[in-house]
Amino acid sequence: MTSGVVLLVLGGFLLGGAWSIWKADSDTKGRTGPQVAFAVILLLAALLATASGVLRLV
């Protein structure tokens, strides 16, 4: 496997983690501040890993 494919898989994994954290809100409180911050950080990391993977494959 090339490093581009590994980065694409990592980006998908991070994107799934961000989605999971975003959907795990409480019925009474909603989403907390740290939960939103962590989801955004994971989303940015997923976008960077995916973009890096695509650029490595090109």
Give residue 2's identity as a one-letter amino acid code: T
50 contact partners, CB below 8 Å, separation of at least 6? 7, 8, 11, 12, 15
Please tell me the predicted confidence (pLDDT) of residue 52: 96
Please tell me the predicted confidence (pLDDT) of residue 39: 92
- CA torsion 9→14→20→24, rounded to 10°? 170
Please tell me the predicted confidence (pLDDT) of residue 29: 76
- CA torsion 47→49→54→58, rounded to 10°? 140
Q: Give the pLDDT of the chain (58 residues) as one tens digit per residue.
A: 789 999 999 999 999 999 998 888 777 777 888 888 999 999 999 999 999 999 999 8
